[in-house]
Structure 1
Amino acid sequence: MHVVLVGPRAEIVRGLRADGHEITLLYEPGHRERVAVLADQVERICAVDSYRKVESLWSAVHHLEPMNPIGAVVTTTEWAVVAAAVLGQLAGARSLTPAQALACRDKGVQKKKWNAAGIPTASWRVLCNSLASEAEAESWLAESDLRFPLVVKPLAEGASKSVKVVRELDEFVTAADSIDGGRAMVEQFVEGREWHFDGIVENGKLSAFMVSRYSEPLLCTKYGKPIRSIALTPALNPDVYDSAADLTLRALHALGLTTGVFHLEAFGEPGTFVASELACRPGGGIVGEMTQRVIGVDIYEASARVITGDPIPRWAEETELTHGWTILPTAPGKLNNVEAEEIMKIPGVDKVIMRLERGSAMRNMAEASTLGVGCAAVKGRSVAECQRAIDAVVAAVERIHENAPLEAAQT
């Protein structure tokens, strides 16, 4: 089958090659280095100016002619989800439908469908235009059932980009105006523990499913705390899995997503879970590493195979140990001084993936929740042991940053 892959992802290319597919890769110029590594594994490559633009993707495949008819269009890139689905429909190929893709991207469309299906979620309202004044903001809020604190976010972004918690009227106006285009999702701030549920749905049923919980809500990344996540072992947490699976299936069915991979974030506790957001692509960070360890599935390879119809390889689930991971935090304004070998010495750590070379300038994690100098995977005999290992990793990285050179010292 000829498969168009929108956005470079090594795991996807590896899986498609193993299944014998012909690959056309479309990419944004910012991903040129990733593409160079994959160039000898794909049949053709073409740059596009934006993953979000159907026009750009559709014209690109015309510039690559002659080519075999497109059999499937796949992506793991959040910003390409809707455009890739439309391209699939235009090409008569296997893909998500545009309606499924939009419901999994636009938070307003998503929550409206959840409300209609009785899925518990925070109170919300879409702000269709930017606010001209505090008086206009006060009037807009008065027409809704929303009360401070509120969360203001783009309708279709990812990695917590441009998400803000506001507690006063002036903060609300400023946050709303900062969203590109002036259209935003405004929802009630939800207290409590945050979770993420990752897996595969096939023909309306969960064929792979993993439950994880964050050490702190994702919005804590806005205040310098990196993502820390622990995947619960299915055999050791059956009741939690039953409750999470119930919410997940209802949420998926309400959005019409019957076949695909997903990443669902939720708040609360088993029995009282509240749906937050659902994406029809694998989770970020090293969620793929966790699904391999915990439930015996490569969620990234599966995200293509569930579309192409190829069998999804599976191996034994974890039954005894607990696995977790963390982003290695940054210290903005300094140069990275962290080395994988040093982090690997910490008890419980069994894998470190560096994303930023030593000596490179570090960005602020407030920009995106997945920003970091790398990631570390840990394992332990219990959730508590796993959490201690994760906390030790974060503390060690922060100590290294204390003595890191300032970015200005590079010039």
Structure 2
Amino acid sequence: MTNIAVINYGPCLDYPAMFPEVADRLHVFSHHELANTQGLGGYEHVTDCEAVPYPELMIRRMARQRPFTHIITDNEYDLERVARIREDLGVPGQSAAGALSFRDKVVMKRVARRTVPTARFARLVTFTDLTDFTAVHGFPVAVKPVKQGGARDITVLRGDDELVAFSRRPWREDLMVEEFVQGPMYHVDAVLAPGYRFVASSRYLRSCLGVFSGLNNGSVQLLPDDPFARRLEDFLDRVLEAFDTPEAGAYHLEVFHTPDDRLLMCEIAARVGGDRIPALTRATYGVDLHTVSLRLSCGLPCEPPPTGPPAEVHGSVSVLPQGRPVRLPGRPPFPWVRHYEVNERIPPDAVTLHSASHLCFVIVSGVDAVEVEQRLLRAESWLMERMDPAPRPLP
């Protein structure tokens, strides 16, 4: 009989709704408190769940009484430990080696280069490895942790002065360096399983690293029959040929498009894309990436993905924290604005820490990527022009 352990991160996931027929056999350990846990076989909110070993200890102990048939997670930072638990308990799913290849960016790029090109890169053991790399390949380069996500802790070095400044910072032992690639970046989001294939391609409105220089972040969907979308889908297939993949899985691939029309793999994750990607996918295709990928991972049926072209595509732009309290102007008054949301959990004086940082975001629709981008920029301008400093509280 089905018995499922879940290590959850997403604050808005509704597991009873996602797994109605087996909710009483779901045992959820969650980083965030969930609004609906009624009918679950077990639920526990665990502070710092993704960092503490408590969920792993409990899952192993529970398995002694009643073996688990599936152990799943929605969280990239839990992929490796969930894979280790599966292997130790003889539960099917992604292997530990497979999880590592999607988590360690150096291992990831070494694996991917069997079938597709990537930017040049190197693991950094000492600072000399960095200076050796720049001596051979020049500037600019990107230095980043091998297992971080959301563009966190990435430093772009554009010349020797920035290299010297970087040398004054405490050294980390989890770094890599890669050449900085010019050109737009695309992302491909997929759920693949026997009898199920969903692939959607999008272009980032701006570089994910642009958030650290004050540029708002966003994404624009491509029509599935766009020739470039088909080219990206083919690139995804070639990338995955190099990896040890589970029978069912979700993937978020980031791809550079160079000025000389080459595609280079940036990164690939074995999970649902973050930020507004799930919301955009629901709006255009009616596909809930989290529900579909997690159900398929447990061998449960799902509605087939749509086969016809969508009536419209969507895009989003997120307004960055300003580092000071501001008054948000409210929903832009355009008929093509499909959703507007304010981040109620962020401090008023927050600064940008990662690519998903935001004060608010807006989702718009359009007939194609060109119209969506035009509307996003118009909505963004409307918001930014009306974002006034918040009044200071009375003493």
TM over 0.5, yes or no? Answer: yes
1:270-317: CA deviations, max 9, x gaps? 962111000111111121122223344211112211210112224545
Aligned to 1:260: 249
For 1:327, which of 284, 294, 318 is the aligned residue? Answer: 318
- Work out the CA distance in 2 between the residues paired with 1:126 and 1:176: 17
Please, what is the CA RMSD of the aligned residues?
Answer: 2.8
Counterpart check, 1:306 vs 2:296: yes
Structure that is richer in helix per residue: 1
Question: Partner amino acid for 1:78?
Answer: E
Question: Partner amino acid for 1:217?
Answer: S
Asked if the contact 1:330–1:372 (Cα under 8 Å) also holds between the matched residues in 2, the reply is: yes
Change (3 A) 1:73 1:343: same
- Work out the CA distance in 1 between the residues paired with 2:39 and 2:167: 44
Unpaired segments of 5 or more residues in structure 2? Answer: none
Aligned to 2:211: 221
- Work out the CA distance in 2 between the residues paired with 1:177 and 1:284: 33
Change (3 A) 1:137 1:199: closer
Change (3 A) 1:273 1:140: closer
Q: CA deviation at 1:211?
A: 0.5
For 1:102, which of 100, 104, 116 is the aligned residue? Answer: 100
Q: CA deviation at 1:179?
A: 7.7
Change (3 A) 1:193 1:49: closer
Asked if the contact 2:364–2:372 (Cα under 8 Å) also holds between the matched residues in 1, the reply is: yes
For 1:286, which of 273, 276, 282 is the aligned residue? Answer: 276
- Work out the CA distance in 1 between the residues paired with 2:164 and 2:87: 39
Aligned to 1:147: 138
Asked if the contact 1:346–1:392 (Cα under 8 Å) also holds between the matched residues in 2, the reply is: no
Alignment of 1:1-80 (within 5 A): 1-9=2-10, 10-11=12-13, 13-21=15-23, 22-28=25-31, 31=32, 34-35=33-34, 37-46=35-44, 47=46, 49-52=48-51, 55-62=53-60, 68-80=66-78
Query: SS state of the match for residue 323, structure 1?
Result: strand
Aligned to 2:369: 383
Change (3 A) 1:183 1:405: same
Aligned to 2:192: 201
- Work out the CA distance in 2 between the residues paired with 1:105 and 1:267: 19
Q: CA deviation at 1:64?
A: 5.7
- Work out the CA distance in 2 between the residues paired with 1:306 and 1:147: 45
Q: CA deviation at 1:65?
A: 7.7
Asked if the contact 1:285–1:327 (Cα under 8 Å) also holds between the matched residues in 2, the reply is: no
Query: SS state of the match for residue 38, structure 1?
Result: coil
Question: Partner amino acid for 1:51?
Answer: E
Count of residue pairs brought into register by the alignment: 388
Change (3 A) 1:113 1:360: closer
State TM-score, norm by structure 1. Answer: 0.85
Identity in percent: 20
Asked if the contact 1:13–1:41 (Cα under 8 Å) also holds between the matched residues in 2, the reply is: no
- Work out the CA distance in 2 between the residues paired with 1:273 and 1:182: 30
Q: CA deviation at 1:2?
A: 1.8
Question: Partner amino acid for 1:260?
Answer: G
Q: CA deviation at 1:57?
A: 3.1
For 2:201, which of 211, 231, 244 is the aligned residue? Answer: 211
Aligned to 2:163: 172
Change (3 A) 1:266 1:137: closer
Query: SS state of the match for residue 198, structure 2?
Result: strand
Aligned to 1:361: 348
